[in-house]
């Protein structure tokens, strides 16, 4: 499948891990649409179904059918469960988990028509390693792994793969407040770079990964091992 026959859509694609993924896919020859709430090639809040629907229509008109989808958009609203507000719970679930569903559903229409597609969900090491103070974030990221496996099983005979990556402590704006103790706990002895996550995503969307489906690829310096 040629990268020129469709486009790659990266949610949360204007900064951090999403920007690195978008840059890498563009370097690999994909027409890349970056979706963000505050800019990018197309503006939309992935938590809002109507905004997502309008964004996909715009992307198809400008870039072609969506044959690669990277569900990367994410937010945090940390706090102990006993003190967490309902607003903070729903804000994180709506963006990090529901947003992936909102984007996957229309993307599958394009992929089924092409009988080829790649979906990569950006989860987190905390999906498999409890992190106090992040009940909403952990629930959303763990839910993404179950969602990934289910879509993979549903679409495997259609030439469509769905995989997940679980980054650990990656150097982005979102992790500037991460405690030094957490960084010290990383066996690799350092934080990761967004480009290292992007390299893994680039592999998962390639033809070489056609038989990799429903998998979770850890990019965490052995933090989750």
**Residue 224 within any structural domain of the chain:** no
pLDDT class of 179 with cuts at 50, 70, 90: low
Of the pLDDT bands very low, low, confident and very high (cuts 50, 70, 90), residue 125 is very high
**pLDDT recorded at residue 173:** 74
Is the residue at 225 inside a domain?
Answer: no
pLDDT of residue 129: 87
- Mean residue pLDDT of the chain comes to 94
Structural element, H or E, at residue 25? helix 16-27
Residue 131 has pLDDT above 60, yes or no: yes
For residue 157, what is the domain's CATH number? 3.40.50.720
Residues spanned by the domain of 172: 3-219
Return d(Cα 205, Cα 202) in angstroms, integer: 5
What is the SS3 assignment for 179?
coil
Tens of pLDDT along 10-59? 999 999 999 999 999 999 999 999 999 998 999 999 999 999 999 999 99
Does 93 fall in a domain?
yes
Annotated catalytic residue 211:
no
In a domain, 81, yes or no: yes
Q: Domain tally for the chain?
A: 1
In a domain, 11, yes or no: yes
Out of 56, 63, 137, 147, pick the active-site residue.
Answer: 137
**Quick check: is 65 in a domain?**
yes
pLDDT at site 56: 98
Predicted TM-score (pTM) of this structure:
0.95
Q: Which of 17, 24, 11, 4 is nearest to 203 (CA)?
A: 24
DSSP codes of every residue in 174-199: GGTT--HHHHHT-TTSS-B-HHHHHH
Distance CA(119)–CA(129), nearest Å, equals: 23
């Amino acid at each position: 499948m040629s990268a020129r026959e469709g486009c790659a859509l990266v949610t949360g694609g204007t900064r951090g891990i999403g920007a690195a993924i978008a840059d890498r896919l563009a370097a690999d020859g994909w027409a890349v649409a970056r979706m963000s709430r505050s800019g990018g090639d197309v503006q939309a809040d992935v938590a809002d179904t109507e905004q997502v629907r309008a964004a996909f229509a715009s992307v198809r008109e400008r870039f072609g059918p969506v044959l690669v989808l990277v569900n990367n958009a994410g937010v945090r609203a940390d706090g102990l469960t006993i003190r967490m507000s309902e607003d903070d719970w729903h804000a994180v679930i709506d963006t990090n988990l529901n947003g992936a569903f909102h984007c996957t559903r229309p993307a599958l229409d394009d992929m089924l028509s092409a009988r080829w597609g790649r979906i990569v969900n950006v989860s987190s090491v905390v999906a498999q390693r409890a992190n106090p103070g992040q009940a909403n974030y952990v629930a959303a990221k763990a839910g993404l792994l179950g969602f990934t496996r289910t879509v993979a099983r549903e679409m495997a005979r259609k030439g469509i793969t769905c995989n997940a990556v679980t980054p650990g402590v990656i150097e982005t704006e979102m992790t500037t407040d991460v405690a030094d103790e957490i960084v010290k706990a990383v066996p690799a002895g350092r934080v990761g770079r967004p480009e290292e996550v992007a390299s893994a995503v680039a592999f998962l969307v390639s033809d070489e990964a056609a038989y990799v489906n429903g998998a979770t690829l850890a990019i965490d310096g052995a933090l989750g091992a």
